[in-house]
């Protein structure tokens, strides 16, 4: 019980400790943030033990009871998302301690990082839409600042485009919240669902045809699709990814875009306003479009970070497609793909960042740095690429296979064809960019100095490679029952959520 608010408070305390103590002594900032993350992971383990018995916990802040007060709710889906968040952000922190070693004003970076952690925990735990919105804004503002932290022209330009789209999305979400409050006089997610159910039974309106509900759903869908960067709204993604430092991009693609976009989408559509077949097919179309367009545009790119950002759009398209198919198996596949996307994209960005790091820190400026001198980085990059393409032992294969199977069973046979074509396109584009990285330097190996990156970055990549190899285990029965099934169950049974939360 005690741990739930502490998941949000501990990073905030870390923020203020860094501002108060570590402005001059910047190594302390890294130590404080590592300690904060370790403490959070310990608390998360306790929450996991508590949730295993009871299914869901409602934490009432200040003792104000459920529909009126501010509540934090932990259930299967929240635990699942928090697991991904803490795992990836811990690795990002390890990576960034080595990566940001020589940069100016490190304490600002760590402050923003911890603020982002606190915001993301809040988004996942929030029990009403307005709290969700506030934490969404906190983490979004922290991530805008993180993208522009290097203060170069390109980074600032990318951050401005990101902010413009982020502001549009937050305005749309706020409008949705305002209209739904005006209509139903409640903000709590469970209570909105309950009220809608009552009105639906009383026959005052039909859920599928009520114009206000449709309007609210479209506002939320547009707002959160802007945050994810799905295809009609994907313009900010590439500019924001291209110039930001590597750990920030890891966070952006692996955590910020899924957690700030897809998680609230799930919460609001499946647990709050109720999903309709029309919305599902809209989500499916968005997913397919972003898969195809991401893969096609990535063929054209030469810069590796821009290439990977298009690839990231296409991967998130897979997740949204899996949700849009809407059967239990497909949603499980989408969740599994969320994990595998987090692992493989952070692996790819870690290796790209390692190349950047080596290029920046080499003594001779004109040396042509390739993968030749960095076997581990090369291996990490290749494994990430194989995982994205979907070669069997790696994680990408399992999740994509489950999504394809689910699409086939649900009767969307054209979608299976599109997925396979997208995978082939991915393979071609990765082959192109990997050969560009490997073949170009035709000098001998002895011409280069030993340029492997620092230990912490290598450690981070090794851990990610291990998880990439073995995360297919998650589909085995015991792991799936502990981790995936509660989340899937929560999503697939629509109206029991509110009763579960409100009358415990």
Partner 1 sequence: MSVEKRQYYFDQSKGMGIIVKTVTRLTVGIVFLFGINVALKGHLVPGGGVAGGGAIALALLSLILAFGKETALKNINRKRITMIATLGMMMFLFLGLIGLIGGNLFSTHFMDNEGKFGILKANIIPLFNIAICLLVGSGVYTIFITLIMLQVRKGSDK
Partner 2 sequence: MIYLLCFVLFGVGMYGLLVKKNIIKLIMSMMISSYAIHIFLIASGFRRHGRAPVLDLSNNMQKAVMVDPLPQTLVLISIIVGAAGIALLCVVAIRLYQKFGTFDITKMKEEIED
> Hey, which residues does 275 pair with through a beta bridge?
none
> At its nearest, how many Å lie between partner 2 and the CB of residue 136?
9
What's the DSSP call for residue 150? Answer: T
Cβ neighbours of residue 187 closer than 8 Å, sequence gap 6 or more: 128, 129, 130, 177, 180, 181
> At its nearest, how many Å lie between partner 1 and the CB of residue 17?
9
Q: Which range in 50-58, 95-103, 178-186, 442-450 contacts partner 2 by CB under 8 A? A: 178-186
> At its nearest, how many Å lie between partner 1 and the CB of residue 14?
11
Partner whose footprint covers residue 182, from partner 1, partner 2, none (CB < 5 to 8 Å by kind): partner 2
Binding to partner 1 (CB under 8 A) within 34-93 occurs at 59-63
Site track 183-222 with partner 2 (rule: CB under 8 A), x = hit? ----x-----------------------------------
Q: How far apart are CA 290 and CA 93, in angstroms?
A: 30
> At its nearest, how many Å lie between partner 1 and the CB of residue 445?
40
Q: How far apart are CA 241 and CA 468, in angstroms?
A: 23
> At its nearest, how many Å lie between partner 2 and the CB of residue 187?
8
Partner whose footprint covers residue 63, from partner 2, partner 1, none (CB < 5 to 8 Å by kind): partner 1
Q: How many CA atoms lie within 13 A of 324 on its CB side?
A: 22
Quick one: which of 116, 111, 85 has its CA closest to 100? 111
CA distances 457 to 83, 244, 386, 437, 443, Å, are 21, 17, 21, 20, 26
Q: How far apart are CA 336 and CA 357, in angstroms?
A: 31
CA distances 496 to 70, 269, 414, Å, are 21, 14, 33
Partner whose footprint covers residue 62, from partner 1, partner 2, none (CB < 5 to 8 Å by kind): partner 1
Binding to partner 2 (CB under 8 A) within 148-167 occurs at 148, 151-154, 156-157, 159-161, 163-164, 167
Beta strands in 326-366 (DSSP E): none
> At its nearest, how many Å lie between partner 1 and the CB of residue 62?
4
Contact status: 19 vs partner 1 (CB under 8 A): yes
Give the count of residues interacting with partner 2 (CB under 8 A).
32
> At its nearest, how many Å lie between partner 1 and the CB of residue 176?
25
Quick one: which of 340, 323, 171 has its CA closest to 262? 323
Which is closer to partner 2, CB of 66 or CB of 288? 66
Binding to partner 2 (CB under 8 A) within 107-146 occurs at 130, 133-134, 137-138, 140-141, 144-145
Q: How many CA atoms lie within 13 A of 180 on its CB side?
A: 29
Contact status: 31 vs partner 2 (CB under 8 A): no
Contact status: 424 vs partner 2 (CB under 8 A): no
160 by Cβ neighbours in 10 Å (0-12 / 13-18 / 19+) ranks as middle
Cβ neighbours of residue 179 closer than 8 Å, sequence gap 6 or more: 212, 215, 216, 219
Q: How far apart are CA 72 and CA 67, in angstroms?
A: 12
Helix (H, G, I), strand (E, B) or coil at 1: coil
Q: Which range in 12-20, 42-50, 288-296, 441-449 contacts partner 1 by CB under 8 A? A: 12-20
How many residues in total does the chain contain?
504
Binding to partner 1 (CB under 8 A) within 355-374 occurs at none
Q: Under the rule (CB under 8 A), what is the footprint of partner 2?
A: 130, 133-134, 137-138, 140-141, 144-145, 148, 151-154, 156-157, 159-161, 163-164, 167-168, 170-171, 174-175, 177-178, 181-182, 187
Q: Under the rule (CB under 8 A), what is the footprint of partner 1?
A: 2, 5, 9, 12-13, 16, 19-20, 23, 59-63
């Amino acid at each position: 019980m005690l741990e739930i608010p502490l998941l949000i408070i501990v990073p905030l305390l870390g923020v203020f400790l860094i501002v108060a103590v570590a402005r001059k002594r910047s190594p302390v900032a890294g130590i404080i943030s590592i300690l904060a993350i370790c403490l959070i992971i310990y608390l998360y383990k306790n929450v996991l033990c508590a949730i295993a018995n009871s299914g869901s916990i409602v934490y009432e802040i200040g003792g104000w009871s459920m529909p009126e007060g501010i509540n934090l709710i932990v259930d299967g889906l929240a635990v699942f998302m928090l697991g991904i968040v803490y795992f990836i952000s811990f690795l990002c922190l390890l990576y960034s301690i080595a990566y940001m070693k020589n940069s100016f004003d490190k304490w600002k970076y760590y402050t923003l990082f911890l603020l982002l952690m606190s915001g993301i925990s809040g988004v996942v735990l929030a029990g009403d839409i307005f709290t969700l919105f506030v934490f969404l804004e906190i983490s979004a503002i922290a991530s805008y600042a993180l993208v522009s932290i290097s203060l170069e022209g390109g980074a600032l330009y990318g951050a401005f485009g990101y902010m413009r789209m982020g502001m549009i999305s937050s305005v749309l979400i706020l409008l949705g919240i305002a209209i739904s409050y005006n209509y139903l006089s409640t903000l709590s997610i469970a209570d909105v669902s309950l009220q809608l159910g009552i009105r639906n039974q009383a026959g005052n309106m039909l859920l599928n045809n009520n114009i206000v509900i449709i309007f609210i759903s479209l506002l939320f869908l547009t707002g959160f699709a802007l945050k994810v960067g799905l295809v009609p709204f994907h313009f900010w993604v590439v500019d924001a990814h291209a110039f930001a430092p590597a750990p920030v991009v890891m966070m952006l693609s692996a955590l910020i875009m899924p957690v700030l976009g897809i998680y609230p989408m799930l919460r609001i559509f499946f647990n709050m306003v109720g999903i309709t077949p029309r919305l599902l097919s809209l989500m499916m179309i968005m997913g397919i479009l972003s898969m195809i367009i991401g893969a096609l545009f990535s063929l054209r790119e030469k810069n590796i970070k821009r290439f990977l950002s298009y690839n990231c759009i296409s991967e998130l398209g897979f997740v949204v497609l899996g949700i849009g198919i809407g059967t239990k198996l497909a949603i499980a596949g989408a969740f599994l793909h969320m994990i595998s996307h987090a692992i493989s994209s952070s692996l790819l960005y870690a290796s790209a960042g390692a190349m950047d790091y080596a290029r920046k820190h080499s003594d001779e400026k004109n040396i042509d740095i390739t993968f030749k001198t960095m076997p581990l980085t090369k291996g990490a990059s290749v494994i990430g690429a194989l995982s994205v393409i979907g070669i069997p032992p790696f994680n990408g294969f399992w999740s994509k296979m489950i999504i394809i199977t689910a699409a086939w069973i649900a009767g969307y046979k054209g979608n299976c064809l599109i997925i396979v074509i997208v995978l082939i396109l991915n393979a071609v584009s990765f082959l192109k960019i990997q050969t560009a990285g490997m073949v170009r330097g035709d000098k001998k190996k002895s011409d280069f100095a030993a340029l492997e990156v620092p230990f912490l970055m290598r450690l981070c990549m090794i851990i990610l490679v291990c998880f990439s190899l073995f995360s297919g285990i998650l589909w085995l029965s015991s792991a799936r029952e502990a981790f995936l099934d509660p989340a899937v169950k929560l999503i697939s049974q629509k109206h029991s959520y509110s009763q579960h939360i409100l009358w415990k």
